[in-house]
Amino acid sequence: MTDFDARAVSTIRGLAMDAPHAARSGHQGTAMALAPLAHVLFSRVMTYDAGRADWLDRDRFVLSAGHASILQYSLLHLAGFGLSLDDIKDFRQWGSATPGHPEVGHTAGVEVTTGPLGQGVANMVGMAVAEAQLRSRYGSEIFDHNVFGICGDGDLSEGLSHEAASLAGHLGLGKIVLCYDDNHITIDGETELALTDDAATRFRSYGWHVEELGDVGEDLDALEAGLRRAMAVTDKPSLVIIRTIIGTPAPDSANTAEAHGYAFFDEEIAATKTLMGVPADKTFYVPDDVLDEYRKLGLRGAEARAGWEGRVAEFAGDRATLEAQLSGTGLPGWEEALPTFDVGESIATRKASNGVLQALVPVVPGLTGGGADLTGNTGTVIKDEGVFSAANPGGRQIYFGIREHAMGAIANGMALHGGAIPVVGTFLVFADYMRAAVRLAALSEARSVFVWSHDSVGVGEDGPTHQPVEQVASLRAIPNLRVMRPADANETVAAWKIAMESGGPTAMITTRQNVPVLEGTSAEGVAQGAYVLHPADDAAITLVGTGSEVSVCVEAADALAASGIAARVVSMPCWELFEQLDAHAQAAVIPRTTPSLAIEAGSSMGWHRWVDDVIGIDRFGASAPGDTVLSELGINADNIVARARALIES
């Protein structure tokens, strides 16, 4: 270890103690223990250019153990990513660039939003999938980079990491180098309280290369050698296991459960700094020469980045496709490929959705994905583009297996990597298995498309375990998630167009059962979230439907008209888009001057913000044919007519 190395590691450890102490909040010990490893990654191993944090062929760094965020912030400050020392001093404060856990898009140099354990591990898998597809399609001269990450016992305890690691090994994703901080400490105490897994054996069984480095947490050369051996293995992902002492080199609190959190105060911080040769009376101490040297290291990838830009400029292949993929758009005129469906046809929106996906894949080069063992059922089949595998990394159809949670988090990693628009599918009821990943997609503004089919008790005979009732309401509760529940095939086309033209995640909610293609469905109306599908002069009531229930509303409106009651029908495929309209525009669709009744085959929660009354399903379903279950639970024209009459009379 050179003098610079020793002083750089001590500087990182000093910041790891000082920032949480100033905030009276945070996690010091893990960051202190991992300072040597992070220093080796940022100063010796990773290829990046701090002056261009968004360079697409850079190595990626994912701190899955996101509670150790001060470690990443310290390196970003030293390497020159634009994070100032004042930002470090503002750790965990309102409006700061250094929040409690790393947030992509909030802090330059942070690749993904981490903190919920295991998510970062799965994000790495998605990034490696995106890299492999790009490298296969455009060549290693254009794309060839690694995905590095750090995880801890907590990450590897969560089931999500098992799902993701199993798939990564199966796919032979050789660009992954995951460093496991084996410190034997959790919040409750020693890991042996609840964990005695043999991680090395487990990951080898998943098809990973494993480097067991042992007690080398302070040996920079041994750390670098282990990382480089892992990087040399290109046909399988690598796990590098490093035994560390949490909180080292603190004299009293190191190797204790307390060191996991905020445990180092004035006296022990001073004592630790004295042991490291850092001025004990100075906080946030960053020597000028250390900072100067690190800033040079942060720019050492500039030459590689410039060379890459030159190769991209000279690329002799399909430039239009390359540019569209890198910008996340379709080829010029891609909208012309969108299908249309004839009024009177009867088609499940999951099948219509797959028809749109198939039409878009040839003209939107970034589209890729599949399903969690329900690829055909959910309409996430991608034909004629090959199956992604170790032997065919250019394939755009991905079989995720029965791994819903990993599938969602992998999709986020692909989206945040760039060059991919992931589409992933399962049954709506299993969105519950994906919820943590979906929430992080919304928080990260990851452009993931989640296709959830079999959207109501219309699933039928499989019964209440497979019939979603509360899921749509639950998804609508997530900020920044666009929940689209199209009424028919043409609304489904419009919903996909919105997903392709918008940032952030989209939830595409589709039916198992056939529904009629309705007269009057409007792409412009879908884009505003709700619109008048079935106008009526002097309407006495407004019926508001979503998804498969819109056609039932039309049937009920016809029945009301036959009895002399005019009813307006509104299709409301997306609450989130509708709430972006001003009050006047909303009132033009759902007037407050006449009573309004919403109909949805699911929880009534939230509907009263838009309407006066709701026909919903606030109980679990039952095992019977889908039409029977829907009708028995009140989703039928006769019940709508009766409730509409009662509402008008009241």
Question: What CATH code is carried by the domain that includes residue 590?
Answer: 3.40.50.920
| Domain annotation covers residue 618 | yes
In a 13 Å sphere around the CA of 50, the CA atoms on its Cβ side amount to 18
Same domain, 382 and 263: no
Q: Give the E-state strand segments of 324-465 in sequence order.
A: 346-348, 367-371, 421-427, 449-453
pLDDT in tens, 383-419: 999 999 999 999 999 999 999 999 999 999 999 999 9
| Domain annotation covers residue 314 | no
DSSP string, 235-298: SS-EEEEEE--TTTT-TTTTTSGGGGSS---HHHHHHHHHHHT--TT-SS---HHHHHHHHHHH
Q: Which residues are catalytic?
A: 404
| Mean pLDDT (whole number) for 80-91 | 98
CB 558 within 8 A of CB 532: no
Task: For Cα atoms 469, 474, 480, give the angle at the middle one, nearest 5 degrees.
Answer: 145
Same domain, 43 and 164: yes
Q: Structural domain of residue 362, as residue ranges?
A: 334-516
pLDDT in tens, 292-312: 999 999 999 999 999 999 999
Q: Which of 482, 516, 550 is the last residue of a domain?
A: 516
| Domain annotation covers residue 403 | yes
427/56 Cα distance (integer angstroms): 34
| Mean pLDDT (whole number) for 16-22 | 98
Provide the domain count of the chain.
Answer: 3
DSSP string, 70-129: HHHHHHHHHHTSS--HHHHHTTT-TT-SS-SS--TTTSTT--S---STTHHHHHHHHHHH
Same domain, 140 and 271: yes
Question: How many angstroms separate the most distant Cα atoms in the chain?
Answer: 90
| Mean pLDDT (whole number) for 225-232 | 98
Same domain, 509 and 533: no
3-state secondary structure of 525: helix
Q: Pick the range with the lowest mean pLDDT from 13-27, 156-170, 252-266, 401-415.
A: 252-266
311/302 Cα distance (integer angstroms): 14
pLDDT of residue 113: 98
pLDDT of residue 22: 97
423: exposed, middle or buried (C-beta count within 10 Å: 0-12, 13-18, 19+)?
A: buried
Helix residue ranges per DSSP H, 530-634: 549-562, 575-578, 583-589, 626-632
CB 565 within 8 A of CB 536: no
| Domain annotation covers residue 173 | yes
Same domain, 568 and 500: no
| Mean pLDDT (whole number) for 499-509 | 98
CB 96 within 8 A of CB 106: no
Give me the percent of the chain exceeding a pLDDT of 70.
100
Query: What is the four-CA torsion angle of 255, 62, 175, 321, rounded to 10 degrees?
Result: 180
How confident is the prediction for the chain on average, in pLDDT?
Answer: 97
Same domain, 487 and 554: no
DSSP bridge partners of 387: 397
pLDDT in tens, 98-157: 999 999 999 999 999 999 999 999 999 999 999 999 999 999 999 999 999 999 999 999
Same domain, 171 and 254: yes
Kind plus residue range of the DSSP H or E element containing 507: strand 506-509
pLDDT of residue 159: 97
Q: Which of 516, 548, 567 is the last residue of a domain?
A: 516
Q: Looking at this protein, which amino acid is placed at residue 220?
A: L
| Tokens matching residue 391 | 């032997």
| Domain annotation covers residue 318 | no
| Mean pLDDT (whole number) for 502-528 | 97
Same domain, 236 and 371: no
Same domain, 229 and 260: yes
Same domain, 33 and 125: yes
Query: Cis before residue 279, ω within 30 degrees of 0?
Result: no
4/285 Cα distance (integer angstroms): 15
Query: Alpha carbon of 566 to those of 492, 537, 540, 549, 592: distances in Å?
Result: 28, 7, 6, 19, 16
Q: Which residues contact 207 (CB under 8 A, 6 or more apart)?
A: 169, 170, 172, 236, 237
CB 509 within 8 A of CB 455: yes
Give me the percent of the chain exceeding a pLDDT of 90.
98
Q: φ and ψ at 544, to 5 degrees?
A: -115, 115
Residue 1's pLDDT band, with cuts at 50, 70 and 90, is: confident
Q: Pick the range with the lowest mean pLDDT from 182-191, 371-380, 415-424, 487-496.
A: 182-191
| Domain annotation covers residue 319 | no
Same domain, 474 and 609: no
| Domain annotation covers residue 467 | yes
CB 376 within 8 A of CB 512: no
| Domain annotation covers residue 321 | no
Q: φ and ψ at 347, to 5 degrees?
A: -150, 135
Q: Which of 460, 488, 516 is the last residue of a domain?
A: 516
pLDDT of residue 565: 97
**Does pTM surpass 0.85?**
yes
CB 113 within 8 A of CB 52: no
Same domain, 410 and 473: yes
218/34 Cα distance (integer angstroms): 9
3-state secondary structure of 30: helix
**Cα 605 from chain centroid?**
25
DSSP bridge partners of 614: 598
CATH number at residue 412: 3.40.50.970
Best CA proximity match to 485, nearest among 574, 424, 423, 602: 574
